[in-house]
Chain A
Amino acid sequence: MVKIMYASITKKIVMSLVGLFLTSFLVVHMSINLLILFDDTRQLFNEAAHFMATNPFIQTFQWILFIGFIVHIILGLVLQIQNWMARPVGYDRKGSSEMSFFSKYMIHTGAIVFIFLLLHFANFFVKAKFGHLEEITYDSGTFEDLGILVVQLFQDGGYVAFYVIAILLLGFHLEHGFQSAFQSLGLNHNKYTPVIKVVGTLFSIAITLGYIAIPLVIYFS
């Protein structure tokens, strides 16, 4: 059905635009998360969380983000199923000529990230939105203490391990995805493409380390 409606390239272009949009969200989310490491009272983090939860622009954006995830996941599945169907009989000797290693595992890394997202959603988003959080008072006012939720969750070694693994896989997803998105959009140029590839790798490493630092620092301190 989708195949009849949208050309392969159309799907890839949408996929890449949504992928880059999700990537930008990762940066914002990580910046806020990192605030929790900067003070013991979690004031910076709680204030930022309060801002994100009440700002009307962010609140609207949240829905666009939500739709973005759904589109990315549905298109990813459709593309992958078509790709599997294109080779009904496989090879005895599997090829390994790829020049972008993690491209072979986009659906696998994506699937784990998806499971992680569901868990993450239940742990933080649902509790922050619908659950009852304790309040904490600073000189700037009284805020819901979302930070304490984070600190408590990251006492659990199993959860920390899963968090770290999922983020690592997200890093792999991005290592291929970042430069791939530019190629899908037709942005390949002998001057800029080598730069994009290096930036993509450095960016994935930065995102991975940034996210992983939080549970590790909390768990071990």
Chain B
Amino acid sequence: MDLTLKIWRQASGLDKGKFVNYKVGNISHDASFLEMLDILNEELVIKGDDPVAFDHDCREGICGACSLYINGRPHGPDRGITTCQMHMRNFKDGETIVIEPWRAKPFPVIKDLMVDRTAFDKIIQAGGFVSVRTGGVPDANAIAIPKHDADLAMDAAACIGCGACVAACKNASAMLFVSAKVSQFALLPQGRPEAHERVQKMVAKMDELGFGNCTNTYACEAECPKEISVANIARMNREFLTAKIVAQKA
């Protein structure tokens, strides 16, 4: 298939950036989207042009490195997959595909389609962990956990931190990401001791970094490659409210 690609090019964070149109031809329907970009980049390199920078790593939907806002949708058309899992059969021959970077104040563009997602790491550092002491290996069945809770915690933990929720949200809100990270611990007994402190610190960090607020538009859930549910956002709000009310003053 032959395609026109309208791609955001920006040399660095300081550069203003603009859209540039490229033509690619003879692309297989079975090629992955990133393979199609690889082909474009090879052609650009041969011509002596600067290849298009984009994030990728595992190319199998588990690492969360790939991004790209394709035709108005993070990770492109199709539900529940990342850009690296998406194939060219989702597009029509002759189509123009618009490719943009994630847009959010806390995700500044590094180059072209690559954005700096360190903001997510900072939120995790603020409280997205369980403090454990070293020592003997605990008995795996010492603490009984209802299957239903374990499943919900696993569903939340499926978040790969790609940032599609922020990209999709009209407010560039990180609530789906943060709520998944809060929930995966809040649902399990191991996470309870630090639960109140955790939710308050992570929310404070999220606000400080300049992410938007949640209007419950639910575009995040629709675009999440791991189909994380907005029920997690409600859980986080619940956790936050309880923490504010019952937690002792620090």
Q: Which residues of A contact B (CB under 8 A)?
A: 3, 7-13, 79, 82-83, 85-100, 103-104, 106, 176, 179-180, 183-188, 190, 193
- Are the C-beta atoms of B213 and A83 separated by less than 8 Å? yes
Check A83–B218 contact: CB distance below 8 A: no
> Contact check: which of A86, A88, A95, A99 meets B72 at CB < 8 Å?
A95
Q: How far is the CB of B62 from chain A (nearest CB, A)?
A: 23
List residues of chain B with CB within 8 A of the CB of A193: 231
Count contacts on B: residues with CB < 8 A to the other chain: 49
Which residues on the A side are within 8 Å of B89 (C-beta)? none
B173 contacts the other chain (Cβ, under 8 Å)? yes
Q: Are B98 and A92 in contact (CB under 8 A)?
A: yes
- Number of A-B residue pairs having CB atoms within 8 Å of each other in the complex: 139
Write the chain B residue with the least CB distance to A101: B217
Question: Within 8 Å CB of A183, what residues of B?
Answer: 216, 230, 233-234, 237
Residue of A nearest to B6 (CB): A92
- Chain B residues with CB under 8 A of A87: 103-105, 171-172, 212
Note all chain B residues with C-beta closer than 8 A to A103: 215-218
CA distance A12 to B236 in the complex (A): 12
Listed residue (B171, B210, B235) with the most chain A CB atoms within 10 angstroms of its CB: B171
Residue B204 CB within 8 A of the other chain: yes
Cα A7 to Cα B203 in complex, Å, equals 7
Nearest CB of chain A from residue B187's CB, rounded to whole Å:
14
Q: Does B100 contact A (CB under 8 A)?
A: yes
Whether A190 lies near B105 (C-beta < 8 A) is no
Complex Cα–Cα for A91 and B103 (A): 7
Q: Check if B214 sits within 8 Å of A12, measured CB to CB.
A: yes
Q: Which residues of chain B have C-beta atoms less than 8 A from A91's C-beta?
A: 69, 72, 100, 103
Q: For the A-B complex with A183-B233, A186-B241, A188-B234 known, give 18 more contacts whose Cβ atoms are closer than 8 Å.
A: A7-B200, A9-B241, A79-B213, A82-B213, A83-B212, A86-B210, A95-B73, A95-B74, A97-B219, A98-B217, A98-B219, A100-B216, A103-B217, A104-B215, A185-B241, A186-B234, A186-B236, A186-B240
Using Cβ atoms and an 8 Å threshold, which residues of chain A touch B168? 95, 97
Given A13-B237, A188-B230, verify A92-B19 contact (CB < 8 Å).
yes
Would B234 and A98 count as touching, CB distance under 8 A? no
Interchain CA distance A96-B69 in the complex, whole Å: 12
Q: Which residues of B contact A10 (CB under 8 A)?
A: 240, 244
B238 within 8 A of A: yes
The reply on B222 being an interface residue by CB < 8 A is yes
**Are B216 and A184 in contact, with the CB atoms below 8 A?**
yes
Q: How far is A184 from B237 in the complex, measured between Cα atoms in Å?
A: 7
Determine the chain B residues whose CB is within 8 A of the CB of A187 once the complex forms.
234, 238
User: When A7-B204, A97-B168, A104-B170 are in contact, do A85 and B210 touch as well, CB less than 8 Å?
Assistant: yes
- Once the chains bind, are B104 and A186 in contact (CB under 8 Å)? no
For A95, list chain B residues within 8 Å (CB).
72-74, 168, 170, 219
A9: chain B residues within 8 A (beta carbon): 203, 236-237, 240-241
